[in-house]
Amino acid sequence: MGNKTYSIKAKLKYAGAFIAWVIGSGFATGQEIFQFFSSYGYVSYGAVLINLLGFIFIGSILMLAGYDHKTTRKFNHFKYYCGNKLGIVYTWLVPITLILTMTVLIAASGSALYEYYNVNRYIGSGIMAAMVLIAYLIGFENMVKIVSKIGPVLIIFVLIVGSITLLNDFSNIGNIGDYSELLAISQPAPNWLLSAILYLSLNFLAGSTYYTALGRSAQNRSDAKWGAIIGAVALISVIVIMNTSYLLNAATAAHLSVPTLYLSMRISYVLGTIFTVVLMLGMFSSCSAMMWSFCNQLFADNKTKNRIVAIAVAVFTFAIGLFFTFRDLVSIFYPFIGYVGLIFIGCVVYKGVRRIFKKGHWEISPPMPQ
């Protein structure tokens, strides 16, 4: 009984870690879900279904690959799936995608404060960029670790807001078709199927490094595999709830940069205010993690040059927001990252499917020679 209980807890632990990469502050604002799913109206549920299958399959493959290569020194999953040449290209592209994502989140902080508290969005974005830079320069690793615990709280808030909205506004379900033209303005791709694939690519290109590392930390293959499956189902369940909530309020949500905050304000001003704080902390922790991930790869042994890189990153991510709004950046950068990752996702799926047919079950090949 004890071993069984431990096994269940281990799988749930990895499921929670699986979700953590996707459900960050960018996800919680609602703009990400709104563009890639809700903007397609009723057929958005087709995109949701594709993502359910994709997250289960691709997520499991990456985590199992990490587990099966845990003894391989300097395992590069990009080279493993795409070959040496293309693998090197993707290895260098991922840090760039982190900076693009960081730019989006810094702009999001400005939009959130502007839409609901009338604070100039440049001020809000500037404060966030400065906080992230200061945290990196001073080395507030422990503080960021503490703040990063805000993730589960963020998930709970999103689920509360979405669930209450469903109960209050479900009678609007028949009116969604009336807003198809308004919703279409936010579509990141020509059709829902391509949008679904781009969302998978967006999350698994940079996220693949995280998921393979997560798989390497698993105690056994079962924990890695079922952690991915349970995590994927839980993640898509949240997307279903939030997607439906946005569609029920399509007339208003289509004009907002942070629709989740709008829905929380409708329920309670106090709830909305608390959610704003949680959201800002989530953005800070996400941006800080991305700053460290990028800067620690450059001039790690030269403190002066490393700090110059960090300052340059902070200035660049803030400056981009001077010319583009948060919604614009989501619609430009996120699909771009998705398109960039299509070949990688194709390689992962191809190799995974080939092994299933070859071995007759869900299996990953033995580790590559060291």
Least confident window among 113-117, 149-153, 219-223, 338-342: 149-153
CB 50 within 8 A of CB 39: no
List the structure tokens of 122: 């440049």
> Distance between CA 231 and CA 16 in Å, rounded?
6
Average pLDDT over the chain, rounded to whole? 85
Position 6 scores a pLDDT of 57
The mean pLDDT value for 311-317 works out to 94
Identify the CA nearest to 65 among candidates 246, 211, 200.
Answer: 211
Query: Would the pLDDT of 330 be above 50?
Result: yes
> What single-letter amino acid sits at 4?
K
CB 212 within 8 A of CB 77: yes
Confidence of residue 267 (pLDDT cuts 50, 70, 90): very high
CB 260 within 8 A of CB 30: yes
Query: Would the pLDDT of 77 be above 80?
Result: yes
Position 125 scores a pLDDT of 92
Residues contacting 268, CB < 8 A, separation 6+: none
Note the pLDDT tens digit of each residue in 278-308.
Answer: 888 878 877 887 888 788 777 767 888 889 9
The mean pLDDT value for 226-242 works out to 91
Return the percentage of the chain with pLDDT > 90, whole number: 39
Position 366 scores a pLDDT of 43
Distance linking the first and last C-alpha atoms of the chain: 38
Position 164 scores a pLDDT of 94
Query: Would the pLDDT of 369 be above 50?
Result: no
List the structure tokens of 303: 């403190």
Identify the CA nearest to 63 among candidates 5, 117, 21.
Answer: 21
List the structure tokens of 202: 């967006």
Least confident window among 9-23, 178-192, 206-220, 332-346: 9-23
List the structure tokens of 299: 């001039």
Note the pLDDT tens digit of each residue in 3-58.
Answer: 555 578 888 888 887 887 777 666 778 889 999 999 999 999 999 999 999 999 99
Position 25 scores a pLDDT of 60
Position 368 scores a pLDDT of 44
CB 105 within 8 A of CB 124: no
Least confident window among 143-147, 161-165, 218-222, 363-367: 363-367
Report the alpha-carbon angle 142-148-149, nearest 5: 105
CATH topology of domain 2-359: Amino acid/polyamine transporter I (1.20.1740)
CB 61 within 8 A of CB 355: no
Position 51 scores a pLDDT of 96
Query: Would the pLDDT of 245 be above 50?
Result: yes
Least confident window among 26-40, 135-149, 328-342: 135-149
Which one has a higher pLDDT value, 293 or 91? 91
Distances (CA, A) of 349 to 84, 94, 197: 18, 19, 12
Query: Would the pLDDT of 339 be above 90?
Result: yes
Position 144 scores a pLDDT of 54
Identify the CA nearest to 198 among candidates 346, 36, 28.
Answer: 36
Identify the CA nearest to 129 among candidates 99, 159, 154.
Answer: 99
Looking at the chain, the number of H-run helices and the number of E-run strands are 18, 0
User: From the CB of residue 171, how many other CB atoms can be counted at a distance below 10 Å?
Assistant: 8
CB 27 within 8 A of CB 241: no
For the chain, give every domain's residue range: 2-359
Confidence of residue 361 (pLDDT cuts 50, 70, 90): low
Q: Find which of 35-49, 245-259, 310-324 is predicted with most confidence, using mean pLDDT.
A: 35-49
Position 311 scores a pLDDT of 93
